[in-house]
Structure 1
Amino acid sequence: MRVLMLFEYPSLNGGEYSFLAHAAVLQQRDCRFLAAGPPQGELAAALAQRQIPLHPCSWRHADQRRFSRTEMIEHLVDLVQQTEPDLVHANSLSMARWLGAAAPRLTIPCVGHVRDIVKLSKAAAADLQPLSRLLCVSAATRAMRLEQGADPERTQVLYNGVDTVRFAPCDPADEQHHESTHEQAAANGRDQAGRALRQELGVPADVCLAGGVGQIGMRKGWDTLLQAAALLAPDALPVQIVLVGERHSQKDEAIAYEQALHAAGARLARPALFLGRRDDMPSLLRAFDLLVHPARQEPLGRVLLEAAASGAAVVTTEVGGTPEIFPPGTALLVPQDDPPALAAAMASLLNDPPQRLHQAAAARQRILEQFTDTRAATNLEVHYRSLVAPCD
């Protein structure tokens, strides 16, 4: 089965990482992927590393003007004629909209992926209707689409999955070299990662690491985290706030928001550390005693899956698809935009190491049962094969 994937941007974010995780599994079966998207950038490099051919498409004119609706439809029709796939899969909501607009002129199944909880214009919602399948990353995301008239039978939930070997309490290479139980190896792995990060950052050994991971933007709620950190009682267990991520938007309000975060972080008793973009996420997540995710909107946070798989206890907001990841006993969920509630949840786990470890273990088991990359890829393959006749 030959699948053409459509990508709008050259960057690697949650949606792109999710596709790469699926592809790693399905390439071992008989799925052959090819991609269309920007010819340079992190995504192009990752596709080349996985030997996925890339058809260069910037979706813009040479002067960087975006294609018009008519031009985008014509471009997609020509692209499908040139590449001759069995199925086309748009990896984001915006690309799904354009694929849906072109679908009536195509003779193969068209799949769109919805990774955002947003209310669409009537025109955008109508563009999605011709798609053969609309895959939503959570039931919350699906509910939003159904509210705007999407067909219930063609609109289905496909949860993201993570590599639970790469994202694990212990580096798999280290675990193989130790004659110890899995639980001992996990504890040793997290202790080792924690010591290494504390040494790198100059954080004392008796200070807990509370990390936040994601884009620097209002939607992620980092201002709420810093307000909560300022409310932690002075006699509480010492904590170091560590934020990992970068700002993508160049808008004035986004720049001002980032500047305000740095100012608020500097005012904490132990100033927050901003690490920017990092390429060592598995070891970072192992090192965190607590992953704090105060998002105002979250369809199904990939970092939540990765953190739970890595053995970090999680405090997060009860928004979007997050409750679908964490049933009671696997994480602490609080209302959004509520610094006192967030501070109380953080303090309860920081001051109770046994409960923190128990919750983290329950969360990892939840990921192993429901959110592995193999499970997600297999479910995606079921959708593909229900739409495409089996290859000879």
Structure 2
Amino acid sequence: MLVELARTAPDTGLRIVVVGLSDAEDDRNAHRLAEAGATVYQLHAGRYDLGAVRRLAAIVRRERGDVLHTHLKHADLVGGLAARLVGVPAVSTLHVIESDPRGAAHRARVRAAVLARATLFDRVVALSEAQRAWYSSFHAPTPVVLVPNGVREPAPPSPTGARAALRAELGVDDRTLLGVTVSLMRPEKGHAVALAAVRLLPADLPFVLALAGDGPLLDTVRAEVEGDPQLHERVRVLGYRADVDDLLRAADLVVHPSHEDALPTSLISALATGTPVVATRVGGIPDIVGDDAGILVPPDDPAALAAAVADLARDPGRREACGLAGRARYDSTFAAPVWVSRLRTLYDQLLTPPAEPLHDGPVSSVALVSAVAPYPSDSGKAMVIAGFLRHLRSRLPHHQIHYLHVGPPLRRTAEFEGVQVHEMGQPSRTGQLVGLVRGVLLRRQSLQEAFLGSPRVAATVQQTLADLDPDLEIIDTVRMEQHVAGRRFRGRRVLYLDDLFSVRYTRMLEVLQDERIDADFDPLGQFSHNVPAQLHWLTRAPLTRRALLRFERGRVARSERRAARTNPTSVLLNAEEAHHLREETGAAVVAVPPSIPGLSRSAHQPDRWDGRPEFAFVGLLSLAHNHDGLGWFLREGMDELLALQPDARLHVIGRDADESLLADAARHGDQVVVHGFVPDLDEALSRMCALVNPLRFGSGIKIKTLDALARGLPVVSTPVAAEGIATHSRPGLIVVPDVVEAARALAALVDPIVRERQTQGAQALYAQRFADQVVAAAYDEVFGTARED
């Protein structure tokens, strides 16, 4: 498991140091960890050597460790004490379910371990729902979070013919079905049950079971197989194998007969290779197999195990369906990047704990304060807020969700089913001007805060929150935070910062100051409706635009830092920006992926691309970064694209294109089509070859990039537009430095083989980082909305 972690950790910005306390039977894994990039220490300490605490603490200080994560009881004790000595957060992962301790001594050890974790640890990690339910029954005060382990993408298949050669090595011909069991040979793994089940298989069923793995029972199992003619014919005892992926690919099904198992990694590997499973319904196994990746049977029941193996062996259609379902479960839940991202989120939350105690009870009422109209979800901000509401409705179907809206009354409320909308009003035009003077001159606010500042609106918001008394308050950016600043609250409060506007303004200035760039955009974007029309010219005139951007950058950076320090938890979409603000403030700032409404439906939308060079740009064109990026591509990239693909066509999807953009588009005739707002994005994008996202500035995560990846649509993107998703090109997301290179990348994607490879990469990237299960887990952790068992 730690080797898997070490291989994947660098992708999420984690540096792994592994400290082995005691001598292992061999040092194979120490070498594998070092090869994977981990720093490895071996203390060679005895079981009760308390000097190991001091030595471990010295290593943590030397390596400048941020979090100490322990595994198993001995490490919990030594690691927990060392963490307290150094003053770093401590996390303990459970690896077993000890629901039936054997004797008084065993029960005492289990209780002592629970007490040690409650005293020394900040979080306990459960690998499965069953394990979390078992541990929660002790009512220990340390929070228990669910973070199932993951495994890496299986190694590429061996050369053609290797599968047949491996089966031949095991004495399995084409007519015989091969079952594989991969686990340590210990009593709790149920090898005796597997052997008993083999004896019960129908004589006419051509089936061989291979047992891979070493352990204390290896010699016993081998002797039993060699001494029984029936088993000798049908069972192969392999011992330790380094080629598990190839072994699983060679198998027709996996057999896992454990009596107890928290979350067996071998079954996750079976999902990854698309191999169907027959396993016992114990521990975390149901979390892995579910209802569709195989058959689950009661433990210690050889007859049931034999019947399930026979049923699956005789039904090739069901085996294929189970394999496909298993691979889908791997991509969304058990891939190593999904697992490590969850760990990174957990560590980030621990590094800067909330300044105030949080509401500990279940969340039964929520108030979200925002100036955004989330429906229609035609911009990234609206999509994120709509995603929050969607998640809250899924978690709190019978409770109250309140949407406190600041601004003109919402015109569309039908989509708010299950949500009570409360209109908070808006500043009058006179009030805005008064607020501008008061906020900017007296309170040193940013302009965006000052234009939305209003004592009357703040009083309405605070009174409404007092009347509702919610368990959870979600405050949408510093613009709304000013309305609740200083208010005491009973429950949780989460400040959603969206993205760092200070970073956005810095990049705008860099573009404007580059004399090589023809940049013409209005930095107000969507915020323009909050600014009196008489003042709009200030952001369009070159001299005043730069001065205002410099002024706003400094003021909003100050507000972002202050808000982060004074709120228990602040949330950004971009992990790099969250790290930056956390480093600046020492506050609890975490990153969560956005939830994009409607993509569960679009996951089943067929790809209707017919081979033509049809490309799309998607985005609200009143946003400065979209306006600038599209104009840049139309002026400097489109000619290159047409030179390479003369019949290429760019479809611009998004409302509020101004005259300058329309003029740039018109220069290319009918090879650039401006559609405006398109209600059914699934239908429109299903016919595209790729999406182009050529931004020169902006911040946060670009929702349209995720939109495309979720649909399996390849994306050609500049580095700014890929931030928070990838730092370099990877299958599905091609990162280019400028629009000329973007045009060349788009032209290359017209090759069906190239596009198919990129399509598969896009779907895999989205499943690993942004699938519904990943997002829901992150929101549950931040909002405290996890379902109770």
In which range does the TM-score fall when normalised by the shorter chain? 0.7 to 0.9
8 A contact 1:23–1:33 mirrored in 2: yes
8 A contact 2:191–2:257 mirrored in 1: yes
8 A contact 2:89–2:351 mirrored in 1: yes
TM-aligned CA distance change 1:345 to 1:91, over 3 Å: same
Give the SS at the match of 1:382: helix
For the aligned residue pairs, the C-alpha RMSD in angstroms reads 2.4
Tell me how far 1:73 sits from its aligned partner: 3.3
Give the SS at the match of 1:268: helix
Mapped partners of 1:377, 1:228: distance in 2: 37
Instruction: Indicate whether 1:309 and 2:272 are aligned.
Output: yes
The residue number in structure 1 matching 2:145 is 156
TM-aligned CA distance change 1:160 to 1:217, over 3 Å: same
Choose 266-275 or 331-340, whichever is displaced more: 266-275
Q: For residue 302 of structure 1, what is the amino acid of its counterpart? A: T
Q: What are the within-5 Å matches in structure 2 for residues 84-163 of structure 1? A: 84-118=64-98, 120-129=109-118, 130-151=120-141, 154-163=143-152
Tell me how far 1:94 sits from its aligned partner: 3.1
The residue number in structure 2 matching 1:221 is 190
The residue number in structure 1 matching 2:204 is 235
Instruction: Describe the superposition over 1:323-381 as per-residue Cα deviations: whole angstroms up to 9, x where unpaired.
Output: 11122122100001101101110000111111111112111111112111111010000
Tell me how far 1:36 sits from its aligned partner: 1.6
Tell me how far 1:293 sits from its aligned partner: 0.3
The residue number in structure 1 matching 2:39 is 53
Tell me how far 1:309 sits from its aligned partner: 1.4
Give the SS at the match of 2:233: coil
Q: What are the within-5 Å matches in structure 2 for residues 1-392 of structure 1? A: 18-37=1-20, 41-60=27-46, 66-68=47-49, 70-118=50-98, 120-129=109-118, 130-151=120-141, 154-166=143-155, 171=157, 192-236=161-205, 238-247=206-215, 249=216, 254=217, 257-258=220-221, 261-263=224-226, 266-268=229-231, 270-389=233-352, 390-391=582-583
Mapped partners of 1:121, 1:315: distance in 2: 31
Give the SS at the match of 1:210: strand
TM-aligned CA distance change 1:123 to 1:278, over 3 Å: same
Task: Count residues in correspondence.
Answer: 342
Q: For residue 23 of structure 1, what is the amino acid of its counterpart? A: A
8 A contact 2:90–2:123 mirrored in 1: yes
Tell me how far 1:321 sits from its aligned partner: 0.7
Tell me how far 1:259 sits from its aligned partner: 5.3
Tell me how far 1:100 sits from its aligned partner: 2.5
Mapped partners of 2:140, 2:229: distance in 1: 46
Mapped partners of 1:391, 1:148: distance in 2: 37
Mapped partners of 2:10, 2:97: distance in 1: 30
Mapped partners of 2:57, 2:139: distance in 1: 26
Mapped partners of 1:198, 1:20: distance in 2: 28
Mapped partners of 2:75, 2:195: distance in 1: 35
Give the SS at the match of 1:267: helix
TM-aligned CA distance change 1:357 to 1:155, over 3 Å: same
Tell me how far 1:24 sits from its aligned partner: 2.4
Instruction: Describe the superposition over 1:72-130 as per-residue Cα deviations: whole angstroms up to 9, x where unpaired.
Output: 43343343344331221113343123322444433111111111112543222211112
Instruction: Describe the superposition over 1:241-268 as per-residue Cα deviations: whole angstroms up to 9, x where unpaired.
Output: 1111112x3xxxx477435543566433
8 A contact 1:265–1:272 mirrored in 2: no
Give the SS at the match of 2:242: coil
Mapped partners of 2:133, 2:52: distance in 1: 28
Mapped partners of 1:45, 1:34: distance in 2: 13
Mapped partners of 2:218, 2:32: distance in 1: 29
Mapped partners of 1:352, 1:221: distance in 2: 25
Mapped partners of 2:9, 2:141: distance in 1: 27
8 A contact 2:8–2:337 mirrored in 1: yes
Mapped partners of 1:121, 1:58: distance in 2: 25
Mapped partners of 1:111, 1:293: distance in 2: 29
Tell me how far 1:302 sits from its aligned partner: 0.5
Give the SS at the match of 1:74: helix
Q: For residue 315 of structure 2, what is the amino acid of its counterpart? A: D
Q: TM-score, normalised by structure 1?
A: 0.80
TM-aligned CA distance change 1:265 to 1:273, over 3 Å: farther
Mapped partners of 1:155, 1:212: distance in 2: 31
Q: For residue 91 of structure 1, what is the amino acid of its counterpart? A: H
Mapped partners of 1:47, 1:256: distance in 2: 28
TM-aligned CA distance change 1:197 to 1:344, over 3 Å: same
Q: For residue 245 of structure 1, what is the amino acid of its counterpart? A: G
8 A contact 2:8–2:152 mirrored in 1: no
**Structure with greater Cα Rg:** 2
Choose 26-35 or 342-351, whichever is displaced more: 26-35
Give the SS at the match of 2:79: helix
The residue number in structure 2 matching 1:12 is none
Tell me how far 1:162 sits from its aligned partner: 1.7
8 A contact 1:93–1:112 mirrored in 2: no
Instruction: Describe the superposition over 1:140-166 as per-residue Cα deviations: whole angstroms up to 9, x where unpaired.
Output: 2222222223336x2111111122343
Mapped partners of 2:224, 2:344: distance in 1: 42
Mapped partners of 2:242, 2:232: distance in 1: 28
Mapped partners of 2:207, 2:281: distance in 1: 23
8 A contact 2:92–2:125 mirrored in 1: yes
Mapped partners of 2:219, 2:168: distance in 1: 31
Instruction: Describe the superposition over 1:46-84 as per-residue Cα deviations: whole angstroms up to 9, x where unpaired.
Output: 122123222331222xxxxx334x434334334334433
8 A contact 2:3–2:29 mirrored in 1: no
Higher relative contact order (CA closer than 8 Å, sequence separation 6+) = 1
Identity among equivalent pairs (%):
29
8 A contact 2:97–2:131 mirrored in 1: yes
Q: For residue 46 of structure 1, what is the amino acid of its counterpart? A: R
Q: For residue 191 of structure 2, what is the amino acid of its counterpart? A: W
Give the SS at the match of 1:216: coil
TM-aligned CA distance change 1:144 to 1:102, over 3 Å: farther
Mapped partners of 1:122, 1:212: distance in 2: 33
